[in-house]
Amino acid sequence: MRTPILPEEAQALGFDGPDDHFALLQGDVVSTESAYYLGERVTGSPKFIVLNASCDLVPGRRQCSALLRVKEVRKSEQDAGAKLNLLLRFKGSHSMYVPPLSVDSGDVVCNAVEFDGICQIQSGDLLLTKRIASLSFVGWRIFASFSQMVIARSNAREGKMRSAIENQPEQQSLELN
């Protein structure tokens, strides 16, 4: 993790032009009460990590954006050590380790990006969120891998099934509908 990557930093390095001026990046950790999960507003100073590709976060490009919840793991939790161990060994595909953040209290051992349940926010509201941190290059690569494998993955079985179904004679395909 690092401090939020600012547009001025990117511009100074030649990465931010007039057509791709960004306000947020994929993997930025933000805090907002303008996000919704299953139609209900998420409240209580929640933290999220931005899921959308950075190119979709350019102001005016998309109406809505996707966020993943970031849950704190506290020392006081009975199984805090086991959760931390699981997260550090990348043994589960339901969450990803994030170290304690600058806004976390002293009893936070770590944070977990929850890949079960995508939250939604209007992109205009996303631009008003409090930016907490940005993923480092390595952290962003890990996050992108998790996102692809957990959220957008396809498996060989599905590909074979779809291919077999589409290669059936037309009559058999119509009977299935």
SS (H, E, C) the chain: CECCCCHHHHHHCCCCCCCCCCCCCCCCEEECCCCEECCEECCCCCEEEECCCHHHHCCCCCCEEEEEEEEEEECCCCCHHHHHHHHHCCCCCCEEEECCCCCCCCCEEEEEEEEEEEEEEEHHHHCCCEEEEECCHHHHHHHHHHHHHHCCCCCHHHHHHHHHHHCCCHHHHHHHC
CATH of domain 7-176: 2.30.30.110
User: What is the pTM assigned to this prediction?
Assistant: 0.81
- Which two structure tokens, joined as six digits, stand for 128? 């008003």
- pLDDT tens digits in sequence order for the chain, 177 residues long: 999 988 888 888 877 666 667 778 899 999 999 999 988 889 888 999 999 887 777 777 788 889 999 999 999 988 988 888 888 888 777 889 999 999 999 999 999 999 888 999 998 888 888 999 999 999 999 888 888 877 776 777 877 888 888 887 765 545 565
Cβ pair 51, 26 in contact under 8 A: yes
Instruction: Render the burial of 91-102: b for 16+ CB within 10 Å, e for the rest.
Output: eeeebbbbebbe
